[in-house]
Amino acid sequence: MPELPEVETIKNELLPHVVGQCITGVTLFWDGIVRQPSVEEFCSRLIGQRIVGLSRRGKYLIFNLTSSKALIMHLKMTGSLLLASAEPEKFVRAIIHLDNETGLYFRDPRKLGRMWLAEEASSIMGKLGPEPLEADFTPEILAQRLHGRSAPIKAVLCDQSFVAGIGNMYADEALFATKIHPLRSGKSLSRDEVEHLHSAIQRVLWAAIGNKGASVDTYFRPGGELGTAHFQFQVAHRLSGKLCPVCGTPIERIPIRHRGSYFCPKCQPSQACDII
């Protein structure tokens, strides 16, 4: 699934191409991609609207329109947004046509992505946690939010109501960087561990943004290029048995709340009293 660095990269690379452009048409190849309002209303209300801004919140993209409404997109597991003008290939589920003779092609092999047209973006996104790269996300805030959390720290970091935008890949990388076992309970982390985790989260995310996101599966940048962040991964998506780049111990993969989690059993030792 595209996580914060991938969605931030898409936002940054789309900005100069879409802001100021007028939506001249909507082509849907799969009606299920539209969640609100009806398909007919969605298409008719978008046509003629100018895109006046583009922002990201968590893993959501928000296109602000002249009507004060917001076109909201979530790429889910396999979605990409491509700037193109050619014939769409088979996995393109929708095209938002722009007056610069290009279109936003919503490519989604597994048909999990979604679009909404809403008065208030917050009504769609729900109660997202703080943005991990914003100034108000401090070590103190992280410590407060971890207080009393008995769930595994890996699951906590992937909870979008706890912190917005972190998913499987970057949670694995941040935990490896801080030598924290993914099954440790959130409340078990010491003050020093919380501070190190806070620093690692920001460092891992900024590095991935600098590398334009991770193309480990179906993620493409708007121009069709791949991201390169995955080449810097230490444990995430490394096949079980691959060696830890720090100590040479085979990487292990375990399920945590239905997610595969990668870690080094030597660098991230388990502490029996803290394991859920």
Active site residues: 2-3, 59, 259
Beta bridge partners of 259: 256
* Tokens describing residue 72: 């909201």
List C-alpha distances in Å: 157 to 102, 161, 174, 218: 37, 9, 10, 23
∠29-35-41 over CA atoms, to 5°? 75
Q: Which residues of 225-258 are buried (b: 16+ CB within 10 A; e: fewer)?
A: eebebbeebbbbbbeeeeebeeeeeebbbeebee
Secondary structure of residue 175 in the 3-state scheme:
helix
